[in-house]
Amino acid sequence: MAEGESAPLLSRSNVDKDLVYVLLFKHPFDEKNHDWLKKKKTIKKAVKQFLRIFKTTPSDTSKSSKVIHRFKHQISWLSKFETEPKSEITNEDFLTSTISAILYDLEHLVGLRYSLFSSRDKDEIFCKLYTTEKWLKIKAKEISYNLQLRDLATPEEIEKDPFKKYPPYADYEVDQDEYAEEIESVFKHFDYNDNEVKQGETGSLFMYNDKVRIVKNILLQYFDFNQMQDYEVLNEDFCVHNEEILAGLKKDWARVGALFKAQPLNRIRNYFGEKVSLYFAWMRCYNCFMIFAAVFGLALFILQLTLESDQKLLLQIFTVAFSIYLSFWAAFFDQIWIRSEKNYAWQWGTIGFEQEEDQRGEFKGEFGRDEVTGLMKKHREKSDNYKIRQLFSYSVACVFVICVIAAVIGIFIFRAANKTQSWSPQVCGLLNAIQIRIMNIVYGKVAQFLNSWENHETETEYNDNLAVKLFLFKFVNSYISLFYIAFLKDYIDECKPDCMTELSTQLAFIFIVNLSLNVVELGLPWFKHKLAVWKENRKVKQMKADDDSIREYMGPIESQAKFEDYESPLDDYMEMAIQFGYVALFCSAFPILPFLALIEITLEIRVDAWKLCCLTKRPFPHRAEDIGVWRAILVTIAYAGSISNAALVVFTSGIFDEDSYDKYELLLIFIGLEHILLFSKFIISVIIPDVPASVEDGQVWGKRMVKEIMYLRTEETHGRKAQENTAGDQVTNQDIILKIGMIKYYED
């Protein structure tokens, strides 16, 4: 296609009021990118790439022929595919034609409206996508999207029957006819800022998160976003911030001044989605439980500083009691969290979500029809070697573990060579803390690459596998030096003055260095954003010197595009899991650790919130039923903590003097204490059920309500269609409610 033929590309301006999503295309007329734009590719290669973007291939003649037929009159090189496959076109021709074709399908096939504008420096094209309520309803029905019903019980009824607290979710399956509005009245409606409106007031069935999920779901049926990025057509796509809602979150949540305010979890969920809100819900639970560990630990630490040497027995008793207490603490934390998690899944309508999860956009495979569902999806290729790839990835992890062990051995050899120097413990502790951080960063990059290479099918599968890879390495990297000091050093070298004191010193260094580096790391997204804006401002000033029509003002959408992406809370979970490990594994050696952890968690919540609200793009509102593999990781740490604390008390603390007990007696004491701690965890997990009774009853009640309400409402409207002229036979919505005697709608 000639350059002149593409003039309509930037002239489209079909704008509606509901901006939902932004696509950021590479600009086909960017003078700074002249060399790449003038590079050539064969028509055969161009057509193959073009078809992959539209989720088909040349071999899929049925679908590919339709795509080619749709555009061959507007895109001249498409018609030359069979006759001149070796002819060449420039990247500029390919980019211009492909973007034009995407925009055509957005409007005529997908049914979305869009508006386009160029970035200030003319290197990108912003495509703002808009929806209408009618379009959303049609598409929501197509994909059976879940929406929540209005409240079905009064506060008095909820107090009597807690299982009625949260109204259920139902698939939207409403025909768009004259009775649609009446049937839709059973669902919640929302204003522009996602606040629920009263029945009878004007509002939308969809919150922003619903809109963007529906839009992305439909877009992925037509376009392959990963191929767009691979072929350098699309730079990125992102959700749009609502400045009014965001300002409220910044004020009430995302600042250090809100340290002692309760987190607005429902508002977080409504704005960022369930995956992000579950992280902050878990942090709240963790923070509350850390208070109990911190109080006991701080008291024990003060006793260690104040008790005289002749009161050693009392201190020993308190240390053993603290170890046992920590075991119970970790067990109760796990059980209370899993119950809270189930409650959130019930409240937010995500129970059973993972069984319905879509494929990742990055998942590579052959397109074909699913024999079970009849839908088109990617199928893993036979040559994929998924298991072999995983085996190779874990082999690489083992190599990194060996490197860590070698680094730690080197540090302790250096320490042994300088053991007469007073600075030796401090310097080696600092070196170990820095080594931990550097190796975590390096392996983190490698693990992400390997995990992507493994080609996982769903987002949950991808994140869970990445979490396991990272944690297995970081477990060794973070704790190996501490295990060495706690259990081996006294037999190989010598602890000065004793191993518990040395372990405490090492823990203090690691904790303080990590905290300091976290502050530095926090500034990176801010610095990157400022640097990106500064670079563009400099470029714009240079361009304006040559062309006075260049605008200097950067709009809100452009500004948001300069922020870093927020992929998932995986790194945040990992940081807290490692911290939990320090507390659970070694706390009896350094009782003030929970107090330091409490300070870090309290600050971390607000810092993570600030980072999310001020330094990143609005994340896609991924749904989630639970925190995934992180619970298994935390439970594993808790069980390891019981064993570690029992070993610290028996073998390292000096409570059980080796002059009074032989090694077999010490071993028996350790086994007995360890069994008591592990058995206590098991008993607590059995006594406290994972799912609250109100959640189980609420699920059953919710399914029943959905069937009865939706069935009765649909049947009632069908009856009206058949009896439109028989007013006396018609039944009102309130009559139905009174007849079935189960639901009442009320207004505040």
Q: 292: burial class by Cβ within 10 Å (0-12, 13-18, 19+)?
A: middle
pLDDT of residue 653: 73
Residues in Cβ contact with 71 at an 8 Å cutoff, skipping those fewer than 6 apart: 78, 97, 101, 104
Whether residue 100 lies inside any domain: the answer is: yes
pLDDT of residue 732: 39
Question: Which conformational region is residue 692 in: left (phi greater than 0), alpha (psi within -120 to 50 degrees), or beta?
Answer: beta
Separation between Cα atoms, residue 472 and residue 467, nearest integer Å: 9
Whether residue 554 lies inside any domain: the answer is: yes
Per-block mean pLDDT, blocks of 10 residues, the chain (748 long): 38 56 94 90 93 86 87 87 87 94 95 92 92 95 93 90 93 82 89 91 94 95 90 95 94 89 95 96 96 94 80 79 88 94 95 72 72 66 78 91 90 80 78 86 90 86 89 90 82 71 82 74 72 79 76 85 87 92 88 91 91 92 91 92 86 73 85 87 88 94 87 58 45 34 30
Do 254 and 235 fall into the same domain? Answer: no
Residues in Cβ contact with 97 at an 8 Å cutoff, skipping those fewer than 6 apart: 1, 6, 50, 71, 74, 75, 77, 78
> For 671-725, what is the HEC assignment?
HHHHHHHHHHHHHHHHHCCCCCHHHHHHHHHHHHHHHHHHHHHHHHHHHHHHCCC
Whether residue 748 lies inside any domain: the answer is: no
Q: Phi first, then psi: give them for residue 564, nearest 5 degrees.
A: -70, 155
DSSP string computed for 105-126:
HIIIII--EEEEEE-TTSSEEE
Q: Which residue has the tokens 């919540």?
A: 605
Separation between Cα atoms, residue 428 and residue 484, nearest integer Å: 14
Written as six digits, the tokens of 346 are: 């019930």
Q: Which amino acid is at 215?
A: V
CB atoms under 10 Å from CB of 354, counted, come to 16
Do 455 and 530 fall into the same domain? Answer: yes
Domain tally, the chain: 2
Do 335 and 479 fall into the same domain? Answer: yes
Q: Select from 136, 274, 269, 267 the least CA-distant residue to 212.
A: 136
Residues in Cβ contact with 23 at an 8 Å cutoff, skipping those fewer than 6 apart: 126, 127, 129, 234, 237
pLDDT of residue 528: 75
Q: Select from 270, 269, 267, 114 the least CA-distant residue to 206.
A: 270
pLDDT of residue 735: 36
pLDDT of residue 374: 58
Whether residue 673 lies inside any domain: the answer is: yes
Separation between Cα atoms, residue 279 and residue 100, nearest integer Å: 40
Q: Which amino acid is at 688?
A: I
Do 449 and 405 fall into the same domain? Answer: yes
CA distances from 94 to 49, 86, 189, 519 (A): 9, 15, 44, 45
Q: How many helices (H) and strands (E) does the chain have?
A: 25, 12
Separation between Cα atoms, residue 280 and residue 275, nearest integer Å: 9
pLDDT of residue 491: 73
Do 323 and 444 fall into the same domain? Answer: yes
pLDDT tens, 336-391? 999 999 999 999 999 887 656 677 777 877 766 666 665 556 777 766 678 888 89
Written as six digits, the tokens of 672 are: 């007995």
Do 222 and 344 fall into the same domain? Answer: no
Separation between Cα atoms, residue 192 and residue 394, nearest integer Å: 48
Written as six digits, the tokens of 601 are: 């968690």
Q: Select from 223, 226, 234 the least CA-distant residue to 28.
A: 234
CA distances from 214 to 20, 139, 328, 531, 620 (A): 10, 7, 44, 34, 12
DSSP string computed for 558-578:
HHHHTSBP---THHHHHHHHH
Whether residue 403 lies inside any domain: the answer is: yes
User: Among 204, 239, 274, which residue terminates a domain?
Assistant: 239
Separation between Cα atoms, residue 510 and residue 513, nearest integer Å: 5
Q: Phi first, then psi: give them for residue 618, nearest 5 degrees.
A: -65, 120
DSSP state for residue 484 in the 8-state scheme: I
Separation between Cα atoms, residue 241 and residue 193, nearest integer Å: 11
CA contacts within 13 A on the Cβ side of 556: 9
DSSP state for residue 650 in the 8-state scheme: I
Do 223 and 307 fall into the same domain? Answer: no
Residues in Cβ contact with 465 at an 8 Å cutoff, skipping those fewer than 6 apart: 390, 451, 454, 456
In the sheet where 113-118 sits, what is the strand order? 113-118, 124-131, 18-26, 234-239
Whether residue 80 lies inside any domain: the answer is: yes
Do 324 and 390 fall into the same domain? Answer: yes
Contact between 714 and 183 (Cβ < 8 Å): yes
Separation between Cα atoms, residue 579 and residue 637, nearest integer Å: 11
Contact between 136 and 111 (Cβ < 8 Å): no
CB atoms under 10 Å from CB of 355, counted, come to 7
User: Among 691, 708, 734, which residue terminates a domain?
Assistant: 691
> For 274-311, what is the HEC assignment?
HHHHHHHHHHHHHHHHHHHHHHHHHHHHHHHHHCCHHH
Residues in Cβ contact with 602 at an 8 Å cutoff, skipping those fewer than 6 apart: 259, 287
Do 516 and 410 fall into the same domain? Answer: yes
Do 222 and 293 fall into the same domain? Answer: no
pLDDT tens, 465-507? 999 999 999 999 888 888 888 887 777 777 666 777 788 888 8
Separation between Cα atoms, residue 44 and residue 51, nearest integer Å: 11
Residue 24, beta-bridge partner list: 126, 236
C-alpha torsion 82→86→91→95, nearest 10: 10
3-class SS of residue 545: helix
Q: Which helix (H) or strand (E) holds 688?
A: none
CA distances from 650 to 306, 339, 491, 641, 673 (A): 23, 34, 15, 14, 9
Do 228 and 369 fall into the same domain? Answer: no
Q: 472: burial class by Cβ within 10 Å (0-12, 13-18, 19+)?
A: middle
Whether residue 195 lies inside any domain: the answer is: no
User: Among 644, 665, 691, which residue terminates a domain?
Assistant: 691
Separation between Cα atoms, residue 502 and residue 500, nearest integer Å: 5
Q: Which residue has the tokens 């001149």?
A: 84
Q: Which amino acid is at 323?
A: S
Contact between 587 and 293 (Cβ < 8 Å): yes
pLDDT of residue 371: 67
Whether residue 395 lies inside any domain: the answer is: yes
CA contacts within 13 A on the Cβ side of 493: 19
Residues in Cβ contact with 595 at an 8 Å cutoff, skipping those fewer than 6 apart: 294, 297, 298, 301
* Centroid of chain to Cα 25: 25
| Long-range contacts of the stretch 59-68 (C-beta < 8 A, 24+) | 60/367
pTM, rounded to two decimals: 0.86
Residue 113, beta-bridge partner list: 130
Separation between Cα atoms, residue 569 and residue 563, nearest integer Å: 17
pLDDT of residue 176: 76
Domain of residue 479 covers 249-691
pLDDT of residue 727: 42
Separation between Cα atoms, residue 708 and residue 481, nearest integer Å: 62
Residues in Cβ contact with 114 at an 8 Å cutoff, skipping those fewer than 6 apart: 12, 14, 103, 106, 107, 127, 128, 129, 130
Do 223 and 291 fall into the same domain? Answer: no
Whether residue 497 is preceded by a cis peptide bond, meaning omega within 30 degrees of 0, is yes
